[in-house]
Structure 1
């Protein structure tokens, strides 16, 4: 079978989850897909729900008729889970009546394949829906990036921070938030002009991203010369090391700033940790961190003010 160009359709980076309670069928389907994508297999709907909650796949292939929870109910439950409701699901079914087909569509599938499964039909439908998924993910990703600095924007922040707060609450893990502001940036713009000011923000954003060492950490351009860093699964001591590394990284850029008493571009920042009172009102956490940022600016700049952990 001729393969699509992997540089345009990087299926090898995708994961397809096969949900099938018959071991032989499960193996056959996995073998059909082996070679152009990563394949994960589970034996029932309950295992599929657990897998998706931990490591969401790019596509799900599910049998309809399974013991205990069937594929229709699996699909309906997945559609109620915010973090995985967008994952396309293809049913593999031996059902052929119109009413049975209608039930598949109403449950929320994007397609279905009739048993006995034809290898060519299955692989091409999987490729079609993976392509659509990758294209959708790319367009969504682009819409969530700041056009100037190419870090995340506020639209991404509003969705991501709620998800990360829920995750932190479920796992009883620490979660820290840092806010930074480029010191005397208006004076920088007035001195060098807006084109140079834009380049300065790009360099600062790049330094922030480079200073974050874990994939789960994220940089957001919050507005103007202000940036936010989300540091999930990080306590206040660990976060303090991160924000100091960020501040030092920007200083090491040695971007000349004649209107600053430091002579170079610097950052002021605020850092605080999520507590129980913030679980339903993340804006209060944001406001608390913003107040720390302004305290850093009021007390000399080129520093980070850190909140003590609240019990």
Structure 2
């Protein structure tokens, strides 16, 4: 099992060394010596828990905690304050800002280990529940809820640099006829196999593949321009064709096929997130009109959509 990662934030190196010595056997440790460095490090390292000093020279722990809880990338990371302050008012202030616990200095080894262990385990359980809530039970892919949230996050992130974002939507051709012919258990197996083919075609860790509903799937491809998105769509077509799932009632092939719509645009703060979905959906239906078992792509602002079998 991968070790949980702990971020220790303290401007006194000796305090970091003490806590590191107590925790390093059980956890992957990273550290920061200032509030600003803590925020930057947390964004990169994505720790499972933060041990945060209150008194620091630039941003104090209260302000760091406040920024954590207002940042979508950091909000779910548990924060334990470590401080020499014994004032109940300070403790209440930290908890009101979203911290989950308080540890006073000098550090008591058994107490620190117990509290860190308890909160890391609680986070692991919360993460498992959160994963179940955004996962499609049949395919193991993300569900529609997760995909739409990921699209909002990526569009916002990429708008800062004006990078490309592409969305792919696809569904299984003549799936109702497949269910009617082979039965719903076979239909479920077909959806599972297409989901696995999608995973093989959409390979980057930053990409998100989801079962959008029924026999329909969708993918988010951050930082992907129209040409690269077209290549991904062609790979999806090939991966699904290679499954060789018989479909005698299909009007385009003796085997299962999919139709694909792709929409690509450069992100900006003025672009509505729903535009990617609506444009990709329109291209999906364009691919169907052109004969299915193909992809259609559109770059926002372009009147020229491309259909490729």
Equivalences for 1:78-89 in 2 at 5 Å? 78-89=68-79
Q: Are the aligned partners of 2:198 and 2:209 in contact in 1 as well (CA < 8 Å)?
A: yes
Q: Which runs of 5+ in 1 are unaligned?
A: 1-9
SS across alignment from 1:13: coil
Q: Deviations over 1:135-184 (max 9, x none)?
A: 00001101111122221111112211111111111243221100001001
Q: Which residue of 1 aligns with 2:258?
A: 267
Q: Are the aligned partners of 2:11 and 2:34 in contact in 1 as well (CA < 8 Å)?
A: yes
Shift of 1:278: 7.9
Aligned length: 301
Q: Which residue of 1 aligns with 2:306?
A: none
Normalising by the residue count of structure 2, what TM-score does the alignment of the two structures yield? 0.93
Alpha carbons of 1:277 and 1:41: their partners in 2 closer, same or farther (altered >3 Å)? Answer: closer
Alpha carbons of 1:293 and 1:134: their partners in 2 closer, same or farther (altered >3 Å)? Answer: same
Q: Are the aligned partners of 2:166 and 2:263 in contact in 1 as well (CA < 8 Å)?
A: yes
SS across alignment from 2:242: helix
Q: Which residue of 2 aligns with 1:23?
A: 13
Q: Are the aligned partners of 1:145 and 1:153 in contact in 2 as well (CA < 8 Å)?
A: yes
Segments ≥4 residues shifted beyond 3 Å: 275-280, 308-311
Alpha carbons of 1:48 and 1:169: their partners in 2 closer, same or farther (altered >3 Å)? Answer: same
Q: Are the aligned partners of 1:146 and 1:152 in contact in 2 as well (CA < 8 Å)?
A: yes
Equivalences for 1:90-169 in 2 at 5 Å? 90-169=80-159
User: RMSD between aligned alpha carbons?
Assistant: 1.6
Separation of aligned partners in 1, 2:89 and 2:245: 67
Equivalences for 1:188-203 in 2 at 5 Å? 188-203=178-193
Q: Which residue of 2 aligns with 1:3?
A: none
Separation of aligned partners in 2, 1:298 and 1:266: 15
Separation of aligned partners in 2, 1:43 and 1:135: 30
Shift of 1:296: 0.4
